[in-house]
Structure 1
């Protein structure tokens, strides 16, 4: 006895219900051609994920439910379908997995464990289910713990006790660095408890700050990895089962190699930007090209995401811009093959300075005058964005975003920031990685596109003579280590000091972190690479007088 399950690791768009349903229908045609018994799609696929409060709107969830009913009716002759979507029972709203068979909704699985941590707050959106049952497709009885349900003991085990012969787990599981071993560990725990094979089906694609990385996999009844899909790419794959001695055994498939963390981070940034552009309707990008490392890597990510013909780099020099920066910015743009504009700001800055002179008379020149340069650049770049219909990218790394080393309404202006969750020390290494590597999914040229001079020179905002970042901040190796403790690991000041850092330095960084919250609140979204990303992972009050005195 055999059973064929078709897995559709696909990229839905939040709110594009008709398009998502069409993707499901197209995958169903492939499954039918392959003579599969069932097509499986990921969690909440019909509406995209995460929908956040959008799914609470009655017109929205009713639209989705009607679309799923229509899909069932139009796919009556062929394999069954498993598809995620919202379900309203007249009283409560659930995160559901619909089983469509013979033109109707044959079964619904409702999510029990609603995640309420990191980027998730499903507790405020959905009602938890109070129990589920398996469903039968042809010769096989299947249990489907939905995403978080498979990370907790109980749900899969209960379904197995009710006769489920395999676990099919639909997921909307977003990427963070080195997540796969954690997923595999939890799924193997379910297999050890149930004694049945398990399929972990994940979606792929970018949604706001989150990136769903795919990497769907299958483990047999002994916990052995027998099939694994690639990360960050759509794929449809058939998984075959054979029943012998009363148990379903999964056939050995293809175990795709997953790249290292540097490639996965870079691919996440490229895919998130590409999807953010396509899903919001933008086709072209522009950014300020300073000659520094952050704008260089953002330009490279943009070119790899959209192609050089769709990226405009703009150098906006002042009298403090070094010749090295002028040369580096132009060389990087030329290496990437994208459009390069040269727009000096001296004349505009002089006009603003003259306008403000009566008000500023008697005050010593300082930060306000420096930031005029940055804000003027933001104004000019936004004017170009409006004129040309190109989305402006902002280029602040996580170190700068953390301590507010950026000018609000200046270099923080922009619609998206691919490196928002990458500390400065990693930016350097990521540049070296990209210079040495090229993949088919990159639309930019091969080779060392980021000049070595950009990577090697001391970072500087170049807003005053001979300025260096370390004039205002600890060395980035020190700063990033302290920030990793404060932000990513939630360590106390005392714990970080115990690691060997000066207490005065740790307290300074802590102070900068807290007083910069208002800037982050107004900053552009950016690719989530860790569980300590600024936005949904870390939600702090803007007004906050507490400090760690330990």
Structure 2
């Protein structure tokens, strides 16, 4: 029996485009296979969020399923879509449909509705009760197939355990499982344990592509009844793979599609950035190039995503900018083949100083002047982006965003933030990784950019270390607090000064108002700012 695993990249709400993509896949493979499996909610994309509150949207999804069924002659197809309950029209389900020979053979409704981190399925869906088992004829034999959706297979409970106990010959799980660093291997290990414990072959088809801040990695697999991976599709790639489930001689216990941690993370950022541009109708980007490591990594990610010729860098030196910063920024742009322009901000800065100084006491002895420089740059960046019909990139990382080391309407101005969910030390690691993809004599990111002490260069001889602890130390404190929800005493017990920990935690708490105004960016951890971590801006709790 031959099965095609179709991990496709769909766009939320694009019912016509998604339907056409599914039909094209069916046409291209129906003569070569018995069964084609598509991801969870492949009709409408994931997550459709409040589109699900529009009844016409749900009806249109059902009409799309009917259209697809007309193209399923001599082949079976499994795919996901949202549907109203047949007898209770106010109840909505996250469903999987099995179509064969142009007829709907079975509809299964998802049982386990995740309601944590980025998931809000209980807001929209009602849990199903169908056992998900169906008898169909495939390759001239009667096959008992058990179908589940994403979360249903993560736990040793119904419905998948029930399907195995009732003699399922094949388990199919369609999924829209978002990416986070380290999650792919954990997910596949779980699937291998399921197949081995049930002694039943398993097809797992996961969505691929970027959707706003979410990344779907694909990494779909076919696993035999012994728990061995028969094939694994590439991560972050739109791909269809045919597997012969009866040919166990082709079992591959070595997975050739695995990536290093840095390669996996980098590819996820590039794919999400590309999809954000393509799916929203943009083809150009603008960003400020400071000569620092954050803008450098943001630039190369975007160049790799949409082409360097479509990314414009603005070098906006002030009187505090060092010569090497301008030189490093120019070197980066030249290495990548990016168009770039130098626009000094000092003339504009002087005008602001002249007009504002009479209003302020000690004007140059506080943050006002530093923020003003950042906002002048933000205005220039936005002007160029508007003129080019481009998206302005924000270049801040998670470490600095966490503690408020950013300027509203300055470096935070923009429409997309490629490294928003990367801690500073991850930024360094990915810069080193990206340089391994270039020749040694011409690295993408200049060595000086990576090696020099980070600085905002908004006052004389400024360094980040003037305001923040060493980033290696800061990142550990932030991860313990934000990701692991540890309190100050617990974090200090890990080997950090308690007064420092309390200062950092306070900075995180008081800067929530900034983060809730920040641009979206790829979510690559299990606890990103935004959908994952939802904290009140007005917050009187004192740690």
TM-score over 0.5 (shorter chain): yes
Alignment of 1:488-499 (within 5 A): 488-499=483-494
Classify the secondary structure of the residue corresponding to 2:77: strand
Question: How much has 1:349 moved relative to structure 2?
Answer: 1.5
The question of 1:140 aligning with 2:143 is answered: yes
Aligned partner of 1:112 in structure 2 is 111
Aligned partner of 2:213 in structure 1 is 209
Between the aligned partners of 1:251 and 1:129, the Cα distance in structure 2 is: 36
Between the aligned partners of 2:185 and 2:499, the Cα distance in structure 1 is: 38
The question of 1:466 aligning with 2:464 is answered: no
Alignment of 1:52-201 (within 5 A): 52-73=49-70, 75-89=71-85, 90-138=89-137, 139-153=142-156, 154-201=158-205
Between the aligned partners of 2:45 and 2:441, the Cα distance in structure 1 is: 34
Classify the secondary structure of the residue corresponding to 2:205: strand
| Aligned residue among 14, 17, 42 for 1:16 | 14
Contact 1:8 1:42 in 2 (8 A): yes
Aligned partner of 1:425 in structure 2 is 425
Point out where structure 2 has 5 or more consecutive residues left out of the alignment: none
Between the aligned partners of 1:103 and 1:47, the Cα distance in structure 2 is: 20
Classify the secondary structure of the residue corresponding to 1:99: strand
Contact 1:286 1:312 in 2 (8 A): yes
| Aligned residue among 452, 460, 472 for 1:457 | 452
Contact 1:157 1:193 in 2 (8 A): no
Between the aligned partners of 1:236 and 1:171, the Cα distance in structure 2 is: 15
The question of 1:49 aligning with 2:49 is answered: no
Classify the secondary structure of the residue corresponding to 2:246: strand
Between the aligned partners of 1:186 and 1:312, the Cα distance in structure 2 is: 44
Contact 1:143 1:167 in 2 (8 A): yes
Question: How much has 1:105 moved relative to structure 2?
Answer: 2.1
Classify the secondary structure of the residue corresponding to 1:495: helix
Between the aligned partners of 2:94 and 2:383, the Cα distance in structure 1 is: 43
Question: How much has 1:428 moved relative to structure 2?
Answer: 1.1
Contact 1:240 1:250 in 2 (8 A): no
Between the aligned partners of 1:530 and 1:411, the Cα distance in structure 2 is: 23
Question: How much has 1:251 moved relative to structure 2?
Answer: 5.1
Deviations 1:502-550 (A, max 9, x none): 00110010000001111110001111111021111211111112122xx
Contact 2:7 2:205 in 1 (8 A): yes
Alignment of 1:316-355 (within 5 A): 316-355=316-355
Classify the secondary structure of the residue corresponding to 1:135: strand
Deviations 1:307-326 (A, max 9, x none): 11111000011111110101
Contact 1:437 1:446 in 2 (8 A): no
Deviations 1:253-302 (A, max 9, x none): 69433111100000011000000000010001110000101001111111
Between the aligned partners of 1:218 and 1:489, the Cα distance in structure 2 is: 33
Q: Which runs of 4+ in 1 moved over 4 A?
A: 361-364, 444-447
Classify the secondary structure of the residue corresponding to 2:148: coil
- Call closer, same or farther: CA 1:362–1:300 in 2, change over 3 Å: closer
Between the aligned partners of 2:440 and 2:314, the Cα distance in structure 1 is: 20
Aligned partner of 1:514 in structure 2 is 509
Deviations 1:122-175 (A, max 9, x none): 111111112323123313221111000000122111122334211111010111
Q: TM-score, normalised by structure 2?
A: 0.95
Aligned partner of 2:226 in structure 1 is 222
Between the aligned partners of 1:78 and 1:351, the Cα distance in structure 2 is: 74
Point out where structure 1 has 5 or more consecutive residues left out of the alignment: 244-248, 439-443
- Call closer, same or farther: CA 1:76–1:269 in 2, change over 3 Å: closer
Between the aligned partners of 1:461 and 1:174, the Cα distance in structure 2 is: 34
Q: TM-score, normalised by structure 1?
A: 0.94
Aligned partner of 2:443 in structure 1 is 448
Aligned partner of 1:246 in structure 2 is none
Deviating more after overlay: 114-123 vs 100-109: 100-109
Between the aligned partners of 1:54 and 1:355, the Cα distance in structure 2 is: 49
- Call closer, same or farther: CA 1:152–1:221 in 2, change over 3 Å: same
Classify the secondary structure of the residue corresponding to 2:468: coil
Classify the secondary structure of the residue corresponding to 1:426: helix
Deviations 1:219-261 (A, max 9, x none): 1111112211111111111121239xxxxx6952694331111
Deviating more after overlay: 526-535 vs 363-372: 363-372
Question: How much has 1:202 moved relative to structure 2?
Answer: 0.8
Deviations 1:453-483 (A, max 9, x none): 1111110000000000010111111111111
- Call closer, same or farther: CA 1:5–1:363 in 2, change over 3 Å: closer
Alignment of 1:233-248 (within 5 A): 233-242=237-246
Between the aligned partners of 1:470 and 1:187, the Cα distance in structure 2 is: 45
- Count of residue pairs brought into register by the alignment: 534
